Structures are given as structure tokens and as C-alpha cells.
Amino acid sequence: MKLLLVTCIQEYEKEVKDILKHAGVKSFSWQSVKGYSNGSDKNAWFISEEIPTESLLFTVFIENQCMDELFERFNHFNDNQAVNTKIHVACLDVNHSI
């Protein structure tokens, strides 16, 4: 089992939900978060410390079989954005769960 963490700006809520749905994800949770960056990393997920970024964090527990399709769909979305704001995804192994 994998734990997928997805962050995006609020404006991408519908797109992330569509990607999850079409890749076969049956359930997930999401919450509003404030993004922060101290400005020292050009590849930071968020813009700056002065302006909090209204963002979303999606939490998804999934089996391995739809992982490749999810990453392909998120990459495709990011590659087709005219702006530098991307959907960010991290995947973690889940060794035990109840």
C-alpha cells in the first residue's frame, strides 16, 4: 500500500479530483492548507513567506496498480500549464496500517 500526498493551489481542486477519479482512486481526503516558503529554494512548492498560498493537501491510500497512471496524469497536467504553478505529488510506502 502507498500513501500519496498531493498539494496544489485551490484553483486546481477540480483537476486533482478528476485525475484521482479517472485513475481509479476510490476514496481520498483533502483539507485546506496555507503554503509557505522561505524563498531559498527555487523549486519550492509554495511562493513565499510574505504571501501565504491558499492550497489544498490531498491524502490518498492506494494500492500500487494505479500509481503509474496517477503520476502520468499529474505530469501531463503540469506539462500543459502555462504558469509555473504545479501540482506536487509525494509517494510513501505504508508498511503497517490498521
The full set of domain ranges for the chain reads 2-93
Local confidence band at 58 (pLDDT 50, 70, 90 cut-offs): very high
Torsion on CA atoms 24, 25, 26, 28, rounded to nearest 10: -170
Please report, for residues 60, 83, 98, the alpha-carbon distance to residue 86 in angstroms, rounded to integers and kept in the order given.
18, 8, 33
Residues 6+ apart with CB under 8 A from 44: 37
Average pLDDT (60-88) is 88
C-alpha cell at 65: 496498480
Nearest to 14 by CA among 45, 72, 56, 69: 56
Average pLDDT (25-35) is 90
Q: Which CATH class is domain 2-93?
A: alpha beta
